[in-house]
Chains A and B, each alone.
Chain A
Amino acid sequence: MKKGLLESVFWAMSNVLVIAYAAIPMLWILSLSLKRGSDLNDQYFFPQTISLEHYRNVFSDTQFSSAILNSIGIASIATLFSVFLGMFAAYAIVRLEFPGRRLMLAGILTTAMFPPIAIIGPLFDMWRITGLYDTWLGLILPYMTFTLPLAIWILAAFFREIPWDLDKAARIDGATTLQSFIRVMVPLAAPGVFTAAILVFIFAWNDFLFAISLTSTDNARTVPAAIAFFTGSSRFELPIGSIAAASVVVTVPVMIVVLIFQQRIVAGLTSGAIKG
């Protein structure tokens, strides 16, 4: 199948368009973050003079640095747990016949569609009574739960691709289901686990609704919530520069992960088909 030059040029042009589409808002927030405070209102797309003052402000703000720590800690632990539990469940769903399997699948699907706002009130009430309000665990639990369907789904898709025979062979050798699971399946499933982990992490990293509803201090407030509640220098001013700098800081890690692992993410998303 040969393509004409014209056609190639056309697709190349459209590639440029696509990249511009994705990059412009990101470049914009980056350039805002690099503008001097007095240049913020100059309406230019690119900064005329580059300055790091907003980054200095953001990092000298204790609220922001603790928010970063919280985000990293909460998202990582939630990812770990979610993928761990998801692995067990996905294995059982793919490999084993048991009554309740359909119910389990239905439950997972329902949770995937679940509107978080529907449980925010009860969770707030439960957390405030049990003391989980404004703690890491108070956010880890909902993140873990809401990402479980995604994790199970992606892992199940990956597990199906793994050759049955190896598992069977292991079992004939006298290994129990769990032993074969640990010895044979886990190494084979590693890429799937990794993909699930990336997507789960991104979900937990980006969440806003739980973060603003179930936290209130530096104890557990994550970055998206911290950005939305930045206190400006005066009572009425929106601290645009700081917001932009903080936005860049939260975006960079995600961006790096995407650039490195984009193939896995695409595979995971299209098998998982759930928005984080």
Chain B
Amino acid sequence: MVGIRLVSTLCIISLIMLAGCNDQKKEKEVTPTLSWYVFNEPSGAFAIAARNCSENSQNTYQIKLVPLPADPDRQREQLVRRLAAGDQSIDIIGMDVIWTAEFAQAGWILPWRSETMEEAKANRLAAPLQSVMYQDEMWGVPYTTNAQLLWYRTDRIREAPTTWQKMIRLAETLGKSGTIQAQGERYEGLTVFFISLLATAGGSVLDTRNEKIALAQEPTIHALSTMAHFANSPVADRTLSTAREDQARLAFETGNSSFMINYTFVWSSIQQNAPEIAPHIGWARWPSLSKDKPGRTAIGGINLAVSAHSRHARLAFEAAACIASERHQRIAATLGGLPPTIAALYDDAEIREALPFADVLRATLRDAVQRPQTPLYNDVSLAISRTLHPMRDIEPDKDYIRLRDAISRALSSKGLL
């Protein structure tokens, strides 16, 4: 029958196609290639690390950089989908500190054990090291870290304000140029803002075991009312509700603002884009809420993890350790302005020249707070940013209840988000 013949031809064609697809994957590999998925780093520091480590390995492996989208949420989206599909082409993952628990729980990454673990742990700062831990195992090697500082104009303010109240009051006296830049868009940055304020007020989102909701009433209300107060004060930027890190930086670089809450990447950017204001930039720790306790902020940065589906896991551990070694942390810091996770580097002259705020950053990291280390962090974070956006509409008492509700839903894995 012609029909049957045609149908079987179709089947054969599709089989050939399938086979063809498989063929493409099976490239003859002399040296195993390790794919390192990480965000696109413009200074080239990651590329240098990949090249150095490949060369040092004496042909035991070759590291290939695979750039991920710019936006961290999109990075996660891409990775997670691929990991869930059991993609074998991922070897090393540039893992944001907030993904550890999720990736580990799902069985997508391998734990670091015995000698590789000891090497990866050596001389690391406590806070970045804490960010790779989940259920008493270590799931990555800390590579670069990050934390927000308060940036301000030394030509307008003599001394950095220590609390939010003081800063807002001071900004108001400066009039139009007093604007405070921060992140108020509905995304991870808003969650960071809230978690930092909450930690500063003495509260936390989850209990110490990261299982149940904590969110004590008094500190939460304190944090929420500070957010509402700030967002509704004349010193908040008009576009606060859509501002991310980069919008805040751009606005600050125009010179019309006097304060900015932001990560350390702004330092090199201001040197380049706004040389006229660069000499007048000061930095201080994240503002506090009371005189006796310092401000605390959430730690950022990326760790390197090894995919559970990697065909060369042993080599991937080796390569990750090499990328995160002191030598390459130095390159990442001097070239890309990415703060190191090795404690000793903060006393290194070269690094201190590239990151003149090293001491303040180290102190910030000492008190830094971890974002909830739960596999459901993504849902928890969405629950927070959605409930609290826009900041100007926060009503502390009402939103405290909404927030509790949203986070509880997220934790029971049914938060429809």
Contact = CB atoms under 8 A, between A and B. Distances in A.
Contact of B85 (A81, A133, A231): A133
Interface of B: 1-3, 6, 10, 14, 17-18, 21, 24-25, 39-42, 67-70, 74, 78, 81-82, 84-87, 89, 244-246, 265
A178 B4 CA distance: 11
A236 to B, nearest CB: 4
Interface stretch (A2-10, A43-51, A134-142, A261-269): A134-142
Which of B17, B81, B86 has most chain A Cβ within 10 Å?
B81
Q: What 7 A-B pairs have minimum CB-CB distances, sorted nearest first?
A: A236-B246, A128-B85, A133-B85, A216-B82, A178-B2, A231-B40, A231-B67
B123 to A, nearest CB: 27
Contact of A231 (B6, B68, B244): B68
Given A136-B17, A137-B18, A235-B265, 19 more contacts: A84-B10, A85-B10, A88-B6, A127-B85, A128-B86, A137-B17, A178-B3, A216-B81, A216-B85, A216-B87, A219-B24, A229-B69, A231-B70, A234-B40, A235-B39, A235-B40, A235-B41, A236-B70, A236-B245
A137 B70 contact: no
Contacts of A128: 84-86
Contacts of A234: 40, 42, 70
Contact of A77 (B17, B41, B68): B17
Nearest to B9: A84
Nearest to A73: B17
B85 A237 contact: no
A57 B253 CA distance: 28
B42 A182 contact: no
B351 to A, nearest CB: 21
Contacts of B82: 134, 216-217
A85 B86 CA distance: 32
B75 to A, nearest CB: 10
19 contacts: A84-B10, A88-B3, A124-B81, A128-B86, A136-B21, A137-B17, A178-B3, A179-B2, A182-B2, A216-B87, A217-B82, A217-B89, A229-B78, A230-B69, A233-B40, A233-B42, A235-B42, A237-B70, A237-B246
Nearest to B40: A231
Contacts of B246: 236-237
A146 B10 CA distance: 18
Interface string A146-187: 000000000000000000000000000000001100100000
A84 B78 CA distance: 34
A136 B78 CA distance: 18
Contacts of A229: 69, 74, 78
Nearest to B250: A236
A107 interface: no
Contacts of B81: 124, 213, 216
B265 to A, nearest CB: 8
Contacts of B244: 236
A116 interface: no
Interface string A187-213: 000000000000000000000000001
B232 to A, nearest CB: 27
A72 to B, nearest CB: 14
Contacts of B6: 84, 88
A201 to B, nearest CB: 18
A33 to B, nearest CB: 20
Interface in A212-263: 213, 216-217, 219, 229-238
A219 B20 CA distance: 12
Contacts of B1: 178
Nearest to B35: A217
B57 to A, nearest CB: 24
A238 B244 CA distance: 13
B70 A135 contact: no
A127 B21 CA distance: 15
Contact of A81 (B3, B10, B70): B10
Nearest to A181: B2
Contacts of A238: 70
